[in-house]
Amino acid sequence: MADAKPHGAGDPPDFATLLSRAEALVPVLRERAGRTEELRRVPDETIEELHRSGLFRILQPRRVGGSELPFRSIVELVSAIGRGDGSTAWVLANLAAHHWLLGMWPKRAQDEVWGPSPDNLVGSALIFPRGRARAAGGGYRVTGRWPFSSGVDASSWLLVGAIVQDEETGGVEPRIFLLPASDFSIIDTWHVIGLGGTGSKDVAVEDVFVPDYRTIAVGQITGGPNPGSAVNPAVLYQLPAVSLFAFCIAGVSLGIAQGAIDYFTETMRTRTSYYTGRSLADFVTLQIHLAEATAMTDAARAVVLGDCDEATRLVSEHRMPTLDQRARYRRDGAYAATLCTKAVDVLFGATGGGAIYARNPLQRAFRDVHAANAHYVLNWDINGAMYGRVALGLSPDATL
Per residue in 21-47, pLDDT (tens digit) is 999 999 999 999 999 999 999 999 999
pTM, rounded to two decimals: 0.95
CATH architecture of 239-391: Up-down Bundle (1.20)
d(CA 174, CA 336): 27
Enumerate residues 6+ apart whose C-beta is below 8 A from 166: 172, 173
> What is the reported pLDDT for 171?
83
- Overall average pLDDT of the 202-225 stretch: 97
Inter-residue contact 262 to 83 (CB < 8 Å): yes
Average pLDDT, the chain: 94
Task: Name the pLDDT band for 7 (thresholds 50, 70, 90).
Answer: low
Is residue 60 a contact partner of residue 49, using CB atoms and an 8 Å limit?
Answer: no
User: Is it the case that residue 6 has pLDDT exceeding 50?
Assistant: no
For the chain, what percent of residues have pLDDT higher than 70?
96
Q: Among 334, 338, 348, 349, which Cα is nearest to 387's?
A: 334
Per-residue pLDDT at 3 exceeds 70: no
Strand spans (E) along 103-150: 122-125, 131-136, 139-149
Whether the pLDDT of residue 305 is over 50: the answer is: yes
In tens, the pLDDT along 83-140 reads 999 999 999 999 999 999 999 999 999 999 999 999 999 999 999 999 999 999 999 9
Q: Does domain 15-114 have CATH number 3.90.1010.10?
A: no
* pLDDT value, residue 4: 37
pLDDT at 55: 98
* Burial (CB count <10 Å: 0-12, 13-18, 19+), residue 207: exposed
**What are the residue ranges spanned by the domains of the chain?**
15-114, 122-220, 239-391
pLDDT of residue 129: 96
- For residue 259, pLDDT over 70 is answered with yes
pLDDT classification of 218: cutoffs 50, 70, 90: very high
Q: Which CATH architecture has domain 122-220?
A: Beta Barrel (2.40)
Q: Do 257 and 300 form a contact (C-beta atoms < 8 A)?
A: yes
> What's the one-letter identity of residue 380?
W
